[in-house]
């Protein structure tokens, strides 16, 4: 999923709670909605946005689609948060640039992956990144089980034997996972330096500007097509704005353990969206791999939080 969302599994929960408290608003999300519903809705929104994004690939390519998504997301977030540029130090802006470049690379790799392999498979492989961050932060013996499950899942997706999965798509998905892991680590520092969504808004602007040469080259004149622009706005809203708002509210009211377990459902939901919207069927081998990586993700989320308390 390539995410511009401060998920970070366990570590980012406390960060986002502080961030939302400092913002001082629930941003119009009803407190009566159960937090699990908010999380599931966020996942559905992200994956639906990715599925819709694939409809643009034939017109403007995956790079053009990434550019539109980040560009419109940056505009919306900057208008919403309206960060005051003079409030921050030079070191903070260096961090913004690094974060923005990470966002651009992560999204570019993920969209390049879903251009070649099913959405559910790409999302499953991308989860290896944040899973690795969570395990590295724990280092308990039980984590060897989660490592083994995740490794088995990745091995099952390797293009061996009768597998029809594009090897380059697998590589891009794993690179997107590495980008997500880097995103999580940088997000902690962004959360300390910036209040609310100011850091994300500025970083998204950097991401869009940095990626603009690739996006313009890929999309060309079709980037000015009204229909393409309209779909691009929809992708930005579904993939960034709505999930960011929903998860901010959910993270205020959910234990990290529950949040992590719920987020572990994302590969399955991605596979379902891919099947319903894109008619992408996943073979039995892929479904087993998806289940193993989901189990690893849920396990590390559930047990890490329990042991920390």
Cα separation, 104 vs 64, whole angstroms: 12
Which are the contacts of 114, defined by CB distance < 8 A and separation ≥ 6? 50, 53, 54, 62, 122, 169
Is pLDDT of 129 > 60?
yes
Confidence of residue 205 (pLDDT cuts 50, 70, 90): very high
Query: In this structure, is residue 297 part of a structural domain?
Result: yes
298: number of CA atoms within 13 Å, CB side?
13
pTM of the shown model: 0.85
Q: Each residue of 219-258: pLDDT tens digit?
A: 999 999 999 999 999 999 999 989 988 887 887 787 777 7
**Confidence at residue 221, expressed as pLDDT on a 0 to 100 scale:** 95
Query: In this structure, is residue 1 part of a structural domain?
Result: no
Is pLDDT of 19 > 70?
no
**Confidence at residue 244, expressed as pLDDT on a 0 to 100 scale:** 84
Q: Each residue of 145-200: pLDDT tens digit?
A: 888 888 898 888 876 656 678 999 999 999 999 999 999 889 888 888 888 789 99
Query: In this structure, is residue 24 part of a structural domain?
Result: no
Cα separation, 264 vs 260, whole angstroms: 6
Q: Each residue of 61-117: pLDDT tens digit?
A: 999 999 999 999 999 999 999 998 888 899 999 999 999 999 999 999 999 999 999
**Confidence at residue 160, expressed as pLDDT on a 0 to 100 scale:** 63
Strand ranges, E, within 173-293: none
Query: In this structure, is residue 159 part of a structural domain?
Result: yes
Helix (H), strand (E) at residue 120: helix 119-126
Q: How many domains does the chain have?
A: 1
Cα separation, 103 vs 74, whole angstroms: 11
**Confidence at residue 6, expressed as pLDDT on a 0 to 100 scale:** 41
**Confidence at residue 161, expressed as pLDDT on a 0 to 100 scale:** 59
Q: What's the mean pLDDT when you consider all of the chain?
A: 85
Cα separation, 173 vs 286, whole angstroms: 14
Query: In this structure, is residue 29 part of a structural domain?
Result: no
Structural domain boundaries, residue 73: 39-308
Cα separation, 161 vs 197, whole angstroms: 46
Confirm if 189 and 41 have CB atoms less than 8 A apart.
no
Average confidence (pLDDT) over 118-125: 93
Query: In this structure, is residue 255 part of a structural domain?
Result: yes
Confirm if 200 and 23 have CB atoms less than 8 A apart.
no
């Amino acid at each position: 999923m390539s995410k511009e969302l401060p998920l970070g599994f366990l570590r980012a929960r406390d960060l986002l709670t502080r961030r939302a408290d400092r913002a001082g608003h629930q941003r119009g999300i009803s407190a009566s909605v159960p937090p699990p519903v908010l999380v599931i809705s966020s996942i559905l929104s992200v994956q639906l946005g990715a599925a819709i994004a694939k409809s643009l690939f034939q017109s403007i390519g995956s790079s053009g689609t990434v550019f539109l998504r980040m560009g419109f997301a940056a505009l919306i977030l900057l208008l919403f948060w309206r960060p005051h540029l003079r409030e921050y130090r030079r070191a903070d802006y260096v961090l913004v640039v690094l974060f923005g470049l990470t966002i651009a690379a992560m999204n570019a790799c993920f969209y390049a992956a879903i251009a070649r392999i099913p959405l559910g498979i790409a999302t499953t492989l991308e989860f290896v990144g944040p899973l690795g961050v969570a395990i590295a932060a724990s280092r308990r013996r039980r984590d060897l089980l989660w490592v083994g499950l995740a490794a088995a899942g990745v091995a099952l997706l390797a293009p061996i034997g009768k597998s029809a999965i594009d090897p380059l798509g697998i590589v891009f998905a794993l690179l997107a996972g590495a980008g997500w892991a880097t995103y999580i680590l940088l997000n902690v520092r962004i959360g300390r330096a910036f209040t609310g969504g100011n850091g994300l808004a500025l970083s998204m602007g950097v991401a869009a500007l940095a990626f603009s040469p690739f996006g313009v080259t890929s999309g060309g004149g079709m980037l000015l097509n009204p229909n393409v622009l309209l779909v691009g706005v929809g992708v930005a809203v579904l993939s960034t704005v709505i999930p960011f708002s929903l998860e901010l509210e959910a993270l205020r009211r959910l234990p990290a353990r529950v949040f992590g377990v719920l987020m572990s459902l994302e590969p399955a939901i991605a596979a379902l969206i891919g099947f319903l919207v894109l008619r992408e069927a996943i073979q039995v081998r892929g479904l087993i791999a998806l289940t193993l990586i989901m189990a690893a993700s849920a396990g590390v989320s559930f047990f890490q939080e329990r042991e920390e308390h």
